[in-house]
Structure 1
């Protein structure tokens, strides 16, 4: 008898009254569908960002001489776990250092440092710093966690279209918020790592300058998309029962339900 009363209450609203609700439902579905598609895309963008060395570029101009290595620092590209420095090695190390490499004979070289490796692997690599390595481990940990959480959030977002009950939208919103937090941590830790790099002459010479590269901005895009998805699913997770629902199906979906064993 109770179920019959619920059905009659949900069906008592006329088509004219529900027309604005149906229009709002169409907009809601489009927004949530767009959020779901973008979060799925962000999963692949996040993989691309983490796997490339285009987060931070440090520029040395025409070369900055380093007395410890006898080389000229040209530039470097830093990723989540590896930094590659581009240096100029003069052919005559006994010559007095110049302001830049103009007129010098030598060869350009690439020196890469993998911060995931233990310190004993690079006993002679002056670019290896234990503080930077700790930053790298933090970024890798949160990067992997956020990848799995993003994939999970995309799956739950798709499930909300099959089951429109409000609790599943709130669950999807919570997962997207966790993805936002994890990816934001990676971005912030990278910015902190750059500040520590400024203290290491071989990595960041005094006259050098840096700018953030494409992978860094891809990471920020992932953060913002996940935040917007979390806010959207949370906003549209309100209960809509009776005459507040656009269809009878939605009205019944938000009615109190006793979950069986």
Structure 2
């Protein structure tokens, strides 16, 4: 039996054909957005995993006095930081003026081992047991006590003597003149000009001739630093090796000021390309990568040779920036994953509210990705202003591919969010391409 087809049904199908074509176009657009979201999610994972967000170049080398290294380049991401530097070491027989810190260990492991060995030595025990005389000055005995407590890791006792040293010596007129530098640009001194430095008395009494490793050499030791160490310290090799760390823990800067209180720094000749050796210095490449400590403490920061007490105070806002970046990077990852799931769910359930939900989630993911980028830019501005060790003057900043991948992710989330919202209008009755879609957008009455 052949049933006649209603002309009204045919007319309705013909009328809905443009609506069906528009609906199929919409589905193709949203399917493309959903696939693009999956691609964006993968790209975001790659972006936050890489350590090439920030790239800082030092060109032919920027000398960092605190670490005694030439900064060459660095690159970092949200979790890891890599720094390439070159360490200039004066040859043992070279006639150059050296900074006192060049005698010291720079590895925190070697420093800890040396302090452990030093603490068991007899002269340290004698220093700690030595009787102190009442005096308004920071005497030789007081200097011996302060060093002994530091070497033995007796933090409370060391801090007591350190406070007394700051009050009696550093706060005095001489100490303030030696430590309070002007804002003028530091003056670079050529360490190869030994004769000129001596004749001009460039460093004054800070220039001392010291026997180290059976060789007499000229070392620049700030006058305040000389007042903090006991008289015959050069007789003990481990003391010599720990002098730089000891002076830093007391809170004495490694620099020396001239009569106008401008910082004088010894700057070795720039390293040959790729390192190597000259007549006066050997240049050793020192690449290092480490994961960023999200919750640094003072002991962790002191392991960095470029940090003093002031810089440690300035570092804590950077730690806040780093934690914020990492937190929002993970939040973005979670929200994007949720958005991708809801994007594909809209094809199983065509109700308009799920498209709006997916679009809203994509926009939230774009917002959190933008937060990561904005916090990153703010941290760079802060670092360039306050942390010269991490971003030295004269260095050039470029953005790594991690930043561009993050911007791509942000753009994709914005685009997909707007597309899902644009195509989330209700399609009821005659506006729907078929009855099934019309029913899907009808109001739902929730019963018992």
Paired residue for 1:208?
Answer: 395
Of residues 154, 157, 170, the one that matches 2:343 is 157
State the Cα distance separating 1:117 from its structure 2 match: 4.2
Match of 2:437 in 1: 250
Counterparts of 1:47 and 1:240, CA distance in 2: 37
Bigger Cα Rg: 2
Structure 1 residue 98: Cα displacement: 4.2
Q: Given that residues 88 and 268 in structure 2 are in contact (C-alpha distance below 8 angstroms), is that contact kept between their aligned partners in structure 1?
A: no
1:232 aligned residue (391, 410, 419): 419
Does the aligned pair in 1 maintain the 2:332–2:365 contact within 8 Å?
Answer: yes
2:362 is aligned with 1:176? yes
Structure-2 separation of matches of 1:209 and 1:99: 21
Distance 1:159 1:33, change over 3 A: same
What is the match of residue 3 of structure 1? Answer: none
What is the match of residue 85 of structure 1?
A: 83
Superimposed CA distance per residue, residues 87-115 of structure 1 (whole angstroms, 9 cap, x where no aligned partner)? 01112283552463235531111234523
State the distance in 1 between where 2:71 and 2:52 align.
Answer: 18
| Cα distance in 2 for residues equivalent to 1:260 and 1:84 | 61
Q: Distance in 1 between matches of 2:423 and 2:351?
A: 11
| C-alpha distance in structure 1 between counterparts of 2:447 and 2:296, whole Å | 52
Is 1:116 aligned to residue 294 of structure 2? yes
Which residue of structure 1 aligns with residue 284 of structure 2? Answer: 107
2:267 corresponds to which of 81, 88, 97: 97
- How far off is 1:239 after superposition? 0.6
TM alignment of 1:45-84, pairs within 5 A: 45-84=43-82
Query: How many pairs are equivalent?
Result: 251
Q: Which residue of the partner structure matches residue 172 of structure 2?
A: none
Give the C-alpha shift of residue 140 in structure 1: 1.0
8 Å Cα contact 1:177/1:230 also seen in 2? yes
Alpha-carbon contact 1:64-1:99 (below 8 Å) kept: no
CA distance in 1, matches of 2:318, 2:51: 15
1:260 Cα deviation after fit: 4.1
- 1:90–1:99 Cα change, 3 Å: closer
- Indicate the residue corresponding to 2:116 in structure 1: none
TM-superposed deviation, 1:143:
1.1
Deviation readout 1:194-228 (Å, 9 max, x if unpaired): 11110211111110110111011111111111111
Contact 2:85 2:287 in 1 (8 A): yes
RMSD: 2.0
Q: Deviations over 1:131-187 (max 9, x none)?
A: 211101001111111111111111111110000000111111111111111111001
Once residues 173 and 239 of structure 1 are traced to their aligned partners in structure 2, the CA distance between those partners, rounded to angstroms, is 15
Write the distance in 1 (CA, Å) between the matches of 2:351 and 2:53.
41
Structure 1 distance, partners of 2:22, 2:374, is 37
For the residues of structure 2 that align with 1:212 and 1:248, how far apart are their CA atoms? 53
| Distance across 1 between alignment mates of 2:424 and 2:439 | 15
Q: Deviations over 1:55-95 (max 9, x none)?
A: 01001101011111110000110111332111011122835
Aligned partners of 1:208 and 1:62: how far apart in 2?
10
Q: Which runs of 5+ in 2 are unaligned?
A: 1-8, 92-97, 99-190, 192-265, 273-277
Structure 1: how far apart are the matches of 2:67 and 2:81?
17
Report the secondary structure of 1:202's partner residue: coil
CA contact (8 A) 1:13 1:243 kept: no
Asked if the contact 1:65/1:99 (under 8 Å) is kept, the reply is no
